């Protein structure tokens, strides 16, 4: 009986000591840690005291691209060797012009452009036509006729084009000069010359072109026409070009 009472007294004393110790040193419960899913890295917590990253000049003020949106790219520049088909037509020697003056048959004429680039008209005499567009020539004729006729109405039309020519020389079946009635490529010029001969050097063809008073050579490889770069190889010719086939 005395032993049981002593044991109970010891248990009570132990419980009182533990309660006294917990009161002096309380323990806070541990916070649960997030569990990362398999294969994913948990994001780092943002520090509220850290300053925000400044925007770079390349992205400042620009909205973020939509996911999966295709990036815009500037179009490739046109081949400088190709002819500018959008430019206005310039009159040249040997062209045939139809110049009409409204209600004045005596001053209306169908005249060719001389080799010196001029045309002859009544009252106007000689006037430069080569190198001008039909509209520019019309304005000059109107200005000169205004000295003799009040408010003249002039129209200039190109009836026939003979000034735009290219030459094909060398190892072709019919060398000569050919008129460009429409845009013409190197292959089309060779076709007008009835094609290459059996002894032509197909990979050594050159096009001679006058650029600012200097003659430049543009290579043309006939053997590469069937390759992927055929569109770049078979470029457009310009008036005055000479295709040389060795």
227 and 195 part of one domain:
yes
For residues 176 and 220, state if they share a domain: yes
Does one domain contain both 239 and 170?
A: yes
| CB distance 216 to 244 below 8 Å | no
Q: Is 241 helix (H, G, I), strand (E, B) or coil?
A: coil
Q: Are residues 246 and 172 in contact, defined by beta-carbon separation less than 8 angstroms? A: no
Same domain, 169 and 153: no
CA 240 to CA 130: how far, in whole Å? 14
* pLDDT at res. 98: 96
Tell me the CA distances in angstroms from 226 to 88, 187, 221, 230, 232, one per residue in order: 33, 12, 10, 6, 11
Quote the CA–CA distance of 127 and 129 in Å, as a whole number: 6
Asked, for residue 127, whether it belongs to a domain, the answer is yes
* 175 and 143 co-located in one domain: no
Task: Please write the tens of the pLDDT for every residue from 49-73.
Answer: 555 555 444 444 555 555 554 454 5
Mean pLDDT of 110-132: 94
For residues 175 and 234, membership in a common domain is answered with yes
Specify if 117 maps to a domain: yes
State mean pLDDT over 198-225.
92
Tell me, what's the pLDDT at 72? 44
Q: Does residue 188 lie in a domain region?
A: yes
Q: How far apart are CA 177 and CA 93, in angstroms?
A: 15
Which secondary-structure segment (H or E) carries 25?
none
The CATH number assigned to the domain holding 107 equals 3.30.1950.10
Total domains in the chain come to 2
Q: Mark whether 174 and 121 lie in a shared domain.
A: no
Per-residue buried b or exposed e for 185-197, using 16+ beta carbons within 10 Å of the residue's own CB: bbbbbbebbeebe
pLDDT of residue 35: 47
Range of the domain at 185: 165-245
The answer to whether 206 and 238 are in contact (CB under 8 A) is: no
Give the C-alpha separation, 24 to 17, whole Å: 11
Q: Is the pLDDT of residue 218 over 80?
A: yes
pLDDT band at 233 (very low <50, low <70, confident <90, very high): confident
Given 160, 178, 210, the domain boundary residue is 160
Domain boundary among 160, 183, 209: 160
Q: Verify that 153 and 170 share a domain, yes or no.
A: no
Domain-located, residue 53: no
Predicted pLDDT of residue 200: 95
Ranking 50-54, 72-76, 228-232 by mean pLDDT, the lowest is 72-76
In the block, which residue shows the tokens 């009835």?
194
Write out pLDDT tens, residues 189-206.
999 999 999 999 999 999
Please give the helix or strand (H or E) that residue 39 lies within, else none: none
- Torsion angle of C-alpha atoms 169, 175, 177, 179, degrees rounded to 10: -110
Q: Say if residues 107 and 168 touch (Cβ distance below 8 Å).
A: no
pLDDT band of 143, cuts 50, 70, 90 = very high
CATH code where residue 241 lies: 3.10.560.10
**Residue 90 domain-assigned (yes or no):** no
């Amino acid at each position: 009986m005395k032993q049981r009472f002593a044991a109970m007294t010891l248990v009570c004393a132990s419980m009182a000591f533990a309660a006294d110790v917990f009161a002096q040193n309380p323990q806070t419960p541990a916070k649960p840690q997030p569990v990362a899913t398999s294969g994913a890295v948990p994001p780092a917590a943002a520090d509220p005291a850290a300053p925000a990253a400044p925007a770079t000049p390349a992205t400042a003020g620009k909205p973020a691209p939509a996911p999966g949106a295709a990036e815009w790219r500037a179009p490739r520049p046109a081949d400088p060797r190709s002819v500018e088909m959008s430019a206005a037509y310039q009159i040249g020697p040997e062209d045939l012009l139809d110049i009409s003056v409204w209600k004045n048959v005596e001053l209306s004429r169908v005249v060719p452009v001389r080799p010196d680039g001029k045309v002859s008209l009544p009252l106007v005499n000689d006037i430069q036509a080569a190198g001008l567009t039909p509209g520019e020539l019309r304005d000059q004729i109107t200005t000169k006729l205004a000295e003799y006729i009040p408010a003249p109405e002039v129209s200039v039309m190109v009836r026939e084009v003979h000034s735009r020519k290219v030459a094909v020389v060398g190892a072709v079946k019919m060398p000569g000069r050919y008129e460009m009635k429409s845009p013409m490529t190197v292959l089309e010029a060779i076709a007008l010359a009835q094609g290459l001969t059996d002894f032509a050097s197909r990979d050594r063809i050159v096009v001679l072109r006058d650029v600012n008073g200097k003659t430049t050579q543009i290579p043309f490889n006939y053997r590469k026409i069937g390759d992927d770069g055929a569109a770049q190889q078979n470029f457009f010719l310009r008036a005055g070009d000479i295709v040389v086939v060795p």
